[in-house]
């Protein structure tokens, strides 16, 4: 048995405490799989006095997390602080510049600074590992980087945020609107007090940018992810989707279009026959399509103490084995530059909900905009009592499903309707998943 891998742990929140518990409880098994012991030697957090439910007395304490990278009794730093910049990024840079491996669960930092950190890790010939940054305990990073390494991946997509998925599936089950279910999710601890990053799709966009780079061998391009969330979904959308044979899910999708990359996080109508339609509660799921392996489907818990700690320790085991490899599946210099693909070139069907004033000529206005934009309407339904947030009694819902066509045509139709006196609110657009 070799010498111990000595670990410094930065951040002692739920996940940090989970890492300590896991290393202790599964110590013998981890040692056998890693080929040597994995030992925590030093820790750092903001509040030394806080009770975290674990014994910290065996570990050296550093008030400044940057000091962890400089310690002689540390081989690898595991960062669980969070945040794209600030202390987490300073620690990452300091660790890699000191010639030590770095493990993180920080998807925001990887999405924004992953290229810089990958280059620093290669230069120092150390590991940069981030399995816990995407989809919690699901081994999707390892699956794409190693298991599917021989395949050309044509698309990668999935449900990447457990908070949004919990809210949408609760809306399905209870028939409630978004605001009511969000309040329940916050009370149960599934949503933060400020849930903006989750419900506006930013968290999912961070993860999608990372998956896209891994899948297609491209440079990270978070800024090009077209992002929207679930705030505009109402109970009526859930009901109409069910009647049409679909479920509503927030889906992140990435595809390579020649030298360009399409990346979008967007509410979609998912056919009930698709595996993603059956991903319920706070679970995550990722689908990758390979040219030889076919469809790969990864599902499991995307957050929480146990799943995230499991992924962090799995990365530590890789480091203990000396299994480094390039952070994004190929050497940094071989990652290709890319730009955003034009979403208008994609073909598909769309679901549209209009809150309209119930008066003569409204339907003609909307259908004329569709006609002039070359959008073919597959079906149309009018419902009364559209949006419970509307005070006016003359507001009704007009639901449309389009035939397959270029996405730019639907965008053009909505642009033509912008400012129309027929509309009582912003239209709701959800693309129909056909993958």
Residues belonging to the active site:
207
Strand partners, 10: 44, 79
Give the span between the Cα atoms of 94 and 90, in whole angstroms: 6
237 CB-near residues (< 8 Å, 6+ apart): 248, 351, 353, 428, 430
Strand partners, 38: 5
How large is the angle between the packed helices 235-244 and 162-174, nearest 10 degrees? 80
67 CB-near residues (< 8 Å, 6+ apart): 44
What 26-30 contacts at long range (C-beta under 8 Å, 24+ apart), as own/partner pairs, is 26/313, 30/313, 30/317
3-state secondary structure of 137: coil
E strands along 145-185, which residues?
Answer: 153-159
59 CB-near residues (< 8 Å, 6+ apart): 9, 40, 41, 42, 43
b/e sequence 160-172, b meaning 16+ C-beta within 10 Å: bbbbbbbbbbbbb
> How many residues can be counted in the chain?
435
3-state secondary structure of 54: coil
Contact yes or no for 114/220 (Cβ under 8 A) = yes
Contact yes or no for 53/14 (Cβ under 8 A) = no
DSSP H/E element including 9: strand 5-10
Q: Where does residue 316 fall: left (phi above 0), alpha (psi -120 to 50 degrees), or beta otherwise?
A: alpha
Q: In the numeric block, which tokens belong to residue 410?
A: 């639907």
CA 191 to centroid of chain Cα atoms: 15
Give the span between the Cα atoms of 253 and 267, in whole angstroms: 11
Q: In the numeric block, which tokens belong to residue 360?
A: 């003569």
Widest distance between CA atoms in the chain: 82
Q: For 332, how many CA atoms within 13 A lie in the half-sphere containing its CB?
A: 15
Task: State in Å, rounded, how far the first CA of the chain is from the last one.
Answer: 48
Q: In the numeric block, which tokens belong to residue 321?
A: 């084995």
């Amino acid at each position: 048995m070799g010498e111990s891998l000595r670990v410094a742990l930065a951040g002692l929140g739920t996940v940090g405490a989970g890492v300590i518990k896991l290393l202790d409880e599964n110590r013998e098994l981890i040692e056998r799989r890693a080929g040597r012991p994995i030992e925590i030697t030093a820790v750092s957090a903001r509040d030394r006095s806080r009770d975290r439910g674990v014994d910290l007395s065996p570990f050296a304490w550093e008030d400044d997390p940057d000091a962890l990278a400089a310690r002689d009794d540390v081989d690898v730093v595991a960062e669980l602080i969070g945040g794209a910049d600030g202390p987490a990024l300073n620690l990452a840079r300091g660790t890699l510049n000191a010639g030590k491996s770095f493990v993180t669960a920080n998807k925001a930092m990887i999405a924004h600074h992953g290229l810089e950190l990958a280059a620093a890790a290669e230069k120092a010939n150390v590991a940069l590992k981030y399995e816990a940054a995407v989809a919690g305990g699901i081994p999707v990073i390892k699956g794409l980087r190693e298991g599917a390494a021989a395949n050309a991946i044509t698309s990668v997509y999935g449900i990447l945020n457990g908070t949004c998925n919990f809210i949408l599936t609760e809306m399905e089950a209870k028939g409630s609107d978004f605001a009511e279910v969000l309040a329940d999710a916050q009370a149960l601890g599934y949503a933060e007090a400020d849930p903006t990053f989750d419900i506006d799709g930013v968290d999912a966009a961070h993860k999608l940018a990372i998956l896209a780079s891994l899948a297609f061998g491209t440079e990270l391009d978070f800024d090009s992810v077209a992002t929207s969330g679930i705030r505009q979904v109402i109970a009526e959308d859930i009901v109409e989707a069910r009647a049409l044979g679909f479920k509503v899910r927030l889906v992140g999708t990435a595809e390579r279009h020649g030298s360009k990359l399409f990346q979008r996080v967007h509410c979609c109508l998912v056919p009930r026959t698709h595996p993603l339609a059956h991903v319920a509660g706070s679970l995550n799921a990722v689908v990758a399509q390979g040219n030889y392996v076919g469809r790969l489907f990864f599902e499991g818990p995307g957050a929480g103490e146990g799943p995230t700690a499991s992924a962090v320790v799995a990365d530590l085991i890789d480091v203990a084995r000396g299994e480094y490899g390039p952070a994004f599946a190929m050497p940094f210099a071989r990652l290709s530059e890319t730009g955003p693909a034009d979403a208008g070139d994609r073909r598909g069907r769309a679901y549209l909900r209009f809150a309209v004033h119930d008066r003569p000529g409204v339907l003609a206005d909307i259908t004329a905009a569709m006609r002039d934009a070359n959008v073919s309407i597959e079906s149309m339904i009018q419902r009364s009592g559209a949006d419970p947030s509307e005070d006016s009694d003359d507001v009704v819902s007009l639901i449309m499903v389009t035939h397959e066509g270029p996405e730019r045509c639907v965008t053009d139709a909505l642009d033509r309707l912008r400012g129309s006196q027929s509309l009582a609110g912003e239209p709701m657009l959800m693309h129909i998943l056909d993958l």
